[in-house]
Structure 1
Amino acid sequence: MFDDIDFSPGIVTYDGTKFLDQEDIFQVAYRDDSYVLDLGWYRKEFAVVIIKDSDWQRPVLEKRCVMPEQMHKLVRECADFVRGLITE
């Protein structure tokens, strides 16, 4: 589903995009898990979050949508955001 997105230098650690009705859908780890890009389904909406240092209570960035076709754009934006943080 996200094959055309450049997640480097991250590593895809979970890909459950065949099942969009589950909480855990997609995850990418960056720099020994210092940053994590996580996509999940939360009852009525999809959420893409950027987590730093395993602090799930305070995401660095969070984007939400209700339509599956909007996910691709949000995941790409978040991947670009993390890449910008890492290269600073």
Structure 2
Amino acid sequence: MVFEEISFYPGKVTYEDFNIDLNKPLDYENDGLKEDMFKVQYPDKFILDIGWYDGVNNFIVYVIKDFDWDNPVIRTECDLVHLRCHTEICALFIRELLSKN
């Protein structure tokens, strides 16, 4: 699993449907690539969300505040190789924001 070693504290994983075989090219993952793949809910109405978007042919990692999907705090595109790193950076970013409150 891509995310098993990432600490999402103090968030809670609320959705996990990331079933990508890391040993296969993404061309063989048509059924597993979708917009809703992974979500973490945090205090203060923060969300970390990960999905695959055909229009950009990449994963997008979002940090959302107050359910404002039209104005994400962070929106970063990445391939599978960099997904873990981008996700970890976003989780740390949220943790840092929450520690300042």
TM-score (norm 1): 0.92
Q: Distance in 2 between matches of 1:15 and 1:69?
A: 19
Once the two structures are TM-superposed, the CA of residue 49 in structure 1 deviates from its matched residue by 0.6
Identity among equivalent positions (%) equals: 41
Shift in Å, 1:63: 1.0
Matched, 1:23 2:24: no
Q: How far does residue 57 in structure 1 lie from its aligned partner after superposition?
A: 0.3
Larger strand fraction of residues:
1
Alignment of 1:5-20 (within 5 A): 5-19=6-20, 20=32
Match of 1:68, as an amino acid? L
Residue 87 in 1 paired to residue 88 in 2? Answer: no
After superposition, the C-alpha distances for 1:1-45 in whole angstroms (9 at most, x for unaligned) are 21110100000001111054111111000016x000000101011
Show structure 1 runs of 4+ deviating over 6 A: none
Give the length in aligned residue pairs.
Answer: 86
Give me the CA root mean square deviation: 1.1
Q: Which runs of 5+ in 1 are unaligned?
A: none
